[in-house]
Structure 1
Amino acid sequence: MIGMYRRRERLLSTENNSKPVIVSFEQSRMDGGFTSSVSASACVDTISKHPLNSLLVSGGFARTYGLTFPSSLPLVVQLSLASKHAVPSWNRTVVCSVLEALRSGADAVALQLAIGNEYEEKMLLDFGSISEEAHSYGLPVLLSIYAKGDRIVQEYDRALIADSIMLGSELGADIIAVPYSGHPESFAQAITEASAPVLLTGTHGAATFDGYCTSVENGLACGADGVIVPFQILPKDKQIESLERIQSIAKLPEESKEDDV
């Protein structure tokens, strides 16, 4: 398991005194909003001009563009996907094996889990088998958890988000990714009790990029360990500037230094 912890540390470590900013390039996402289509070449061009901590992509993207990125850039390969036309839209199927992710240059693998619906059991079983295999190769598993389905009244409900973080801990996820609930006290408490680093994902109902940035800022202030930024939410004409803005939000406060005596 030492390899898993080393890779996780590399995935989340930064050299610019900030919490990690991981860009995700996936045409289909669970969290809704910002659904405009973007090209893979635009993502490659933007990432090559802006230093990142990590990149979250599908296996096909990693195989096609992996050599385009610096070898020092950790790649997280998403194993469970669906088209944006799937019914229901949040049902995810494992389409890439751990070994295929490794051959694509993965430093970690990722899965998506939708709770509160009839497909939850299937996705839980997928996580169990994938997690065991990934750990056997020393790969950390990033688990993104969302509340989706007919029984879910409010997917950003503070109790649901807190339960998602707790579930990620109970499942043994190495990194847990959840949307920000918008309730600082309960969100901060759930992060404190988590057994793994917690990253932000989702938009908390934000309809604009400014609203998204505000949600990220509030979630990080609650103690979240970093943020996964969907490439689709970056304004097309200001992608690099927008990434820099999010990076500045993730900046850690400067520690006060006492004068030498």
Structure 2
Amino acid sequence: MNMGKSVRLERIFNRNTGRSIIVPLDHGTTVGPIEGLVDLRSTVNKVAEGGANAVLMHKGLPRCSHRGHGRDVGLIIHLSASTTLSPFPNAKILVGTVEDGIKLGADAVSVHLNLGDESERDMLRDMGQVASKCAEWGMPLLAMVYARGPKVKSEWDPATVAHCARLAEELGADVIKVVYTGDPESFSRVTEGCCIPIVIAGGPRMESPRDIIQMAHDSVAAGGAGLSMGRNIFQAENPTRLVQALHAVVHMDYSVDQALALLEEPKL
């Protein structure tokens, strides 16, 4: 691997465990300034203090979220966008460049593909071009790949998720983000099909911290490399404490009950 990529990946992955907790904060482009994304400096501080390895955002947000103090956290600049106001919300388009990420001091960049969408060919072309540029600059590439389109029966189907992951690997991604398939046995088929780290998406808001921690625990047990979880973290009652519990599962191999016990300690 390119030396630059290796150095940058160590800023967003724990070098001892080879795993990561990434907190995406890019939702404002898609749905607006939702709860948890209004005071970005506060949110970044909370997840960083909990032990998150990186935050992910669009190129205009570091100026609103860089703290200049506190615990350090890696930065991933997201290059894809669409909105829920569009008649084609699954059609992602590039709104940034690898060079933007370099200028902002990013440790990685990310792109989003929705396989099965009518605009799939454009997103595939864009990812291929970004991957080539990342290789040129030594910039790690995280690919968020989901199956969303008229021919997709279930985006959580293990074979479909494995296809998403394998495509990202073959097009040059360094880290892959996919949905969790629901159980360790099926998710292990996803991780076995790739030789690069796979992190899971958090998905819609979950009912309880146990559900979040259980999913994190099971995905790691199946060979996953951690999490890329947004709303379930930054809209939690105590994001710092939840990240601490997830850190214990992802990086310290805590059981679900051991991690939950951290949430029951006196509040910070």
Could you tell me how far 1:91 is from its partner in structure 2? 2.1
- With over 3 angstroms needed to count, the CA separation of the structure-2 counterparts of 1:48 and 1:228, relative to structure 1, is closer
Aligned pair in 2 of structure 1 residues 124, 70: CA closer, same or farther (>3 Å)?
Answer: farther
Cα distance in 1 for partners of 2:52, 2:62 equals 16
Alignment of 1:140-219 (within 5 A): 140-203=140-203, 207-210=206-209, 211-219=211-219
Please state if 1:46 is matched with 2:46: yes
Whichever residue aligns with residue 224 of structure 1, its letter is G
1:257 — aligned with what?
Answer: none
Structure 1's 27 and 149: CA in aligned 2 closer, same or farther, altered over 3 A? same
**Deviation (angstroms), 1:7:** 1.7
Q: Structure 1 residues 64 and 253 mapped into 2: Cα distance closer, same or farther (>3 Å)?
A: closer
Q: Distance in 2 between matches of 1:76 and 1:143?
A: 11
Q: Aligned letter for 2:250?
A: A
Asked whether the equivalents of residues 14 and 20 of structure 1 are also in contact (C-alpha less than 8 Å), the reply is no
Distance, in Å, in 2 between the alignment partners of 1:69 and 1:94 is: 31
AA aligned opposite 1:54? A
Give the 3 Å change call, closer, same or farther, for CA 209–44 of structure 1 in structure 2: same
Q: For 1:88-144, what per-residue CA distance to the aligned partner results, in whole angstroms no more than 9, with x for missing partners? A: 322211111111111111111000111012111111111111111122111010001
| Contact preservation (8 Å) 2:59, 2:100 | yes
Query: Does the CA contact (< 8 Å) of 2:181 and 2:187 recur in 1?
Result: yes
Structure 2 unpaired stretches of 5+: 255-268
Tell me which residue corresponds to 2:5. 4
Change (3 A) 1:232 1:132: same
Higher relative contact order (CA 8 A, sep 6+): 1
Q: How many angstroms does 1:215 deviate by? A: 2.0
Amino acid at match of 1:171: L
Provide structure 1 residue ranges, at least 5 long, that are not aligned to the other structure: 255-261
The equivalent of 1:37 in structure 2 is 35
Considering only aligned residues, what root-mean-square deviation do their CA atoms show, in Å? 2.7
Number of equivalenced pairs: 249
Normalising by the residue count of structure 1, what TM-score does the alignment of the two structures yield?
0.84
CA–CA distance in structure 2, aligned partners of residues 42 and 192 of structure 1:
38
Instruction: Supply the AA of the counterpart residue of 2:112.
Output: Q
Q: How does 1:91-130 map to 2 (within 5 A)?
A: 91-130=91-130
Kindly indicate whether the alpha-carbon contact (under 8 Å) linking 1:200 and 1:228 is maintained by their aligned counterparts in 2: yes
Moved more, 183-192 or 115-124: 183-192
Name the CA distance, whole Å, in 1 between partners of 2:110 and 2:34: 23
Distance (whole Å) between structure 1 residues aligned to residue 34 and residue 215 of structure 2: 20
Partner AA of 1:6 in structure 2 = V
State the alpha-carbon separation in 2 of the partners of residues 112 and 130 from structure 1: 11
Counterpart in 1 of 2:25? Answer: 25
Q: In the alignment, which residue of structure 2 is the partner of 1:57?
A: 57
Deviations 1:203-232 (A, max 9, x none): 3x6642433332222211101011112145
Tell me the amino acid that sits aligned with residue 14 of structure 2.
S
Identity of aligned residues (%): 24
Match of 2:251 in 1: 251
Deviations 1:5-27 (A, max 9, x none): 22223321256x68321111122
Distance 1:72 1:245 in 2: 19
